[in-house]
């Protein structure tokens, strides 16, 4: 019996289940971190006064660094112990997410996304290497499948949850109406419409099917 297998066998069953649950949570967290931006892209563009194309760079730059850095880190860090790598990746991932949440400018937000993308693939890859020792060779495939299934579930959950949170708790800025919600927008537009007979208001919903009502005021030509 190898030293690694012996150390894993020394763990009690509840501890092994806890470790496996944390790996599943790891897969879900990494998936949420990657896909949540898709649902709030419009909100980010409004918050930082950038175009949707620029906000889309948060997704594309993440994907590029994820694809490029994962194999490079696997080769470069092969001589390090797995637990040390797992701790280092976890620290970088958490710190980058904190910077992302508090980013004062779009440039800082983009850099944090690049850093998250750089370590996410290697973080998950190192994590799943513990599954054979925790579950045994006969259940290794099932354990890896569950971890990556959690990553896939996050694709759906993170996008929908991001939209809901953005709808309930954040402000949105529009070209002529800054609103906390649809009712405020309609009231402001109605007041503008009353001030000039040449102005008209119409309700418009975003193309991404968000539950937002935008008040679009335009001057008749």
Same domain, 57 and 145: yes
Same domain, 11 and 47: yes
Q: Of 132, 148, 170, which closes a domain? A: 170
Same domain, 197 and 129: no
Residue 213, pLDDT score? 39
User: Is the separation of the CB atoms in 49 and 107 below 8 Å?
Assistant: no
Residue 9, pLDDT score? 54
What does pTM read for this prediction?
A: 0.69
* Domain count for the chain: 2
Q: What is the CATH number of the domain that holds 10?
A: 1.20.1250.20
Residue 185, pLDDT score? 39
Instruction: Name which residue leads in pLDDT, 187 or 168.
Output: 168
Task: Report, as an integer, the average pLDDT of 105-117.
Answer: 94
pLDDT in tens, 124-176: 999 999 998 888 888 888 989 999 999 889 888 888 887 888 778 753 333 23
Same domain, 109 and 129: yes
Residue 187, pLDDT score? 41
Same domain, 157 and 198: no
pLDDT at 184 over 60: no
Residue 112, pLDDT score? 94
Residue 205, pLDDT score? 38
pLDDT in tens, 78-104: 888 999 999 999 999 999 999 988 889
Look up tokens 């208001």; give the residue: 201
Same domain, 66 and 114: yes
- In three-state form (DSSP H/G/I as H, E/B as E, the rest C), the secondary structure along the chain is CCHHHHHHHCCCHHHHHHHHHHHHHHHHHHHHHHHHHHHCHHHHHHHHCCCHHHHHHHHHHHHHHHHHHHHHHHHHCCCCCHHHHHHHHHHHHHHHHHHHHHCCCHHHHHHHHHHHHHHHHHHHHHHHCCHHHHHCHHHHHHHHHHHHHHHHHHHHHHHHHHHHHHHHHCCEECCCCEECCHHHHHHHHHHHHHHCCCEEEEEEECCCCCCCEEEEEEECC
Same domain, 86 and 132: yes
Same domain, 65 and 27: yes
Residue 174, pLDDT score? 30
- 5 Cβ neighbours under 8 A, 6+ residues apart: 133
Mean pLDDT of the chain: 76
Residue 115, pLDDT score? 95
Residue 170, pLDDT score? 58
pLDDT at 13 over 80: no
Same domain, 155 and 178: no
Q: Among 40-44, 122-126, 138-142, 176-180, which stretch is predicted with the lowest mean pLDDT?
A: 176-180
- At residue 198 the predicted structure's pLDDT band, cuts being 50, 70 and 90, is very low
Closest CA to 122 of 90, 79, 158: 90
Residue 10, pLDDT score? 65
Same domain, 160 and 186: no
Please state, in angstroms and rounded to a whole number, the distance separating the CA atoms of residues 128 and 210: 36
For residue 94, the enclosing domain spans 3-170
Same domain, 132 and 202: no
- 66 Cβ neighbours under 8 A, 6+ residues apart: 34, 117, 118, 120, 121
Instruction: Name which residue leads in pLDDT, 156 or 64.
Output: 64
Same domain, 24 and 8: yes
């Amino acid at each position: 019996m190898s030293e690694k297998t012996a150390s894993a066998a020394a763990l009690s069953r509840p501890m092994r289940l806890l470790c496996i649950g944390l790996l599943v949570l790891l897969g879900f967290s990494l998936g949420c971190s990657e896909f949540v931006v898709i649902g709030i892209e419009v909100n980010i563009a409004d918050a930082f006064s950038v175009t949707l194309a620029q906000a889309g760079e948060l997704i594309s730059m993440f994907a590029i660094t994820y694809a490029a850095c994962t194999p490079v880190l696997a080769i470069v860090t092969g001589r390090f112990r797995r637990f040390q790598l797992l701790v280092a990746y976890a620290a970088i991932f958490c710190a980058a997410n904190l910077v992302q949440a508090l980013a004062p400018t779009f440039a800082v937000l983009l850099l944090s996304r690049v850093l998250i993308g750089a370590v996410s693939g290697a973080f998950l890859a190192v994590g799943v290497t513990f599954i054979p020792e925790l579950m045994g060779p006969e259940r290794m495939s099932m354990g890896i499948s569950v971890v990556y299934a959690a990553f896939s579930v996050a694709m759906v959950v993170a996008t929908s949850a991001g939209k809901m949170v953005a709808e309930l708790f954040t402000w949105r800025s529009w070209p002529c109406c800054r609103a906390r919600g649809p009712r405020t927008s309609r009231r402001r537009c109605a007041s503008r419409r009353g001030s000039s007979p040449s102005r008209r208001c119409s309700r418009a919903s975003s193309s991404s099917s968000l539950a937002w009502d935008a008040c679009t005021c335009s001057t008749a030509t």
